[in-house]
A and B are shown apart, each in its own frame.
Chain A
Amino acid sequence: MADTIAMEVARYQPGEDGAPTMARYDVPLRKDWVVLDGLNYIKDEIDGTVTFRWSCRMGICGSCGMTVNGEPKLTCATFLTDYAPGPVRVEPLANFPVIRDLVVDIDDFLDKLSEVKPWIVRDEAPLSAGEYLQTPEQLEEYRQYSMCINCMLCYSACPVYGLDPEFVGPAAIALAQRYNLDSRDEGAAERLDVLIHPEGLWACTFVGDCTRVCPKHVDPAGAIQRYKLTAALDTLKHYVLPRGGR
């Protein structure tokens, strides 16, 4: 095994560069090093101005998402050796505006996330009424969707979001579904109102790449298709039983 690997890193300085350019750095190639280790090596040893986000280094915080050789990846969970002999191309997540180097603007995602009310909606009973109990089977209904770490790799992989930034997008819809399927939640109708418009559920054409790139196996594409079915049945019910619907 060679003892170094070339990393090509996208550099963009706001106000100075018109578009990102690629810079090349040689970093040690170690068996236990991930792409993020390579970036930290560059920052510590070669060029301290390289800018990127990270925190947990263990696939939990969701802040280290970048495009590695064209694929959205958590850089803390992507080994350099998988790309040997290199070079490894590291670019910011696609489909988001770039603030600087590898850092993207995530405001749009955060706005969309809060739109779908990703929390338990219900008329609260007094504390004295005790906890809301849930069986393991009820937990199983939504557990997969609750694994989302908001890393936005799915948005980066989604051509629908790339072409139409108004699209609510994979993770937000999967998280809406996470709460809809929670036996303690009563907010499904409110969320459906937010998601039943053309930029919501129905913008999804089931490309499925969100599911392929998701590091937590959330399967947002599956969540959206299930949601479409629920929405369609709901609309049908509305027509057939105008009084009893919803």
Chain B
Amino acid sequence: MSVRQTATAVRGRYQPRISLWWWLTKPSYLLFVLRELSSVFIAWFIVFLLLFVRAVYQGEGQYERFLDFAANPFVVFVNLVALAFVLLHTVTWFVLTPQALPLHLRGRRVPGGLIIASQYVGWLVVSAFVFWLVVGW
């Protein structure tokens, strides 16, 4: 480290303070905070799925009870909010992937748009598979 005085120790400097509400000052900050918050809803969906699997495992009665729980207006509301956040999570992270994972193919950098597009294709394929699994066609 340098032997210079640190900036904050110098008298006469105006040291700006960052406001507690900094994340409301720019759209990009707000989007970031919402993206971070979305992980809570991802966790909720995982818990919900695990509860569902447990109910199925425990037999008919528990399964019916889980369906009643899932149909409760409050739970439906929470799940709708969660869905919105999960979509935000997915889309924002898809957009960020090429930045974090630059792929090279035969010595050339794969264009970011292609990486994003292939994620959407993957998403579509998995969704189609799940749809087929659940609905049967």
Contacts and interface: CB of A to CB of B under 8 A. Distances in A.
Nearest to A161: B18
A226 interface: yes
A14 B13 contact: yes
B101 A159 contact: no
A26 interface: no
Interface in A159-195: 159, 162-163, 165
B85 to A, nearest CB: 17
B100 A225 contact: yes
Interface in B8-38: 8, 10, 12-16, 18, 22-23, 25-26, 28-29, 32, 36
Contacts of B18: 95, 159, 162-163
Contact of B29 (A98, A209, A225): A209
A137 B10 contact: no
Interface residues of A, number: 39
A162 B22 contact: yes
A116 to B, nearest CB: 13
A221 interface: yes
Q: Give 8 closest A-B pairs by Cβ, nearest first.
A: A225-B100, A14-B12, A222-B99, A97-B13, A98-B14, A162-B18, A105-B7, A207-B32
A174 B19 CA distance: 27
B96 A208 contact: yes
Interface in A4-25: 12, 14-15, 17, 19-20
Interface in A122-171: 137, 140, 159, 162-163, 165
A49 interface: no
B6 interface: yes
A221 B99 contact: yes
A198 B29 CA distance: 22
Find the residue from B14, B28, B100 having the highest chain A CB count within 10 A: B14
B102 interface: yes
Given A108-B7, A111-B1, A209-B29, 20 more contacts: A14-B13, A14-B14, A15-B12, A70-B26, A95-B16, A96-B16, A97-B14, A98-B14, A107-B4, A108-B6, A114-B2, A159-B22, A165-B8, A207-B28, A208-B28, A208-B32, A212-B28, A222-B99, A222-B100, A229-B100
Nearest to B6: A108
A99 B16 CA distance: 11
A102 to B, nearest CB: 12
A225 B6 CA distance: 28
Interface string B87-115: 00000000010011110000101000000
A238 B107 CA distance: 28
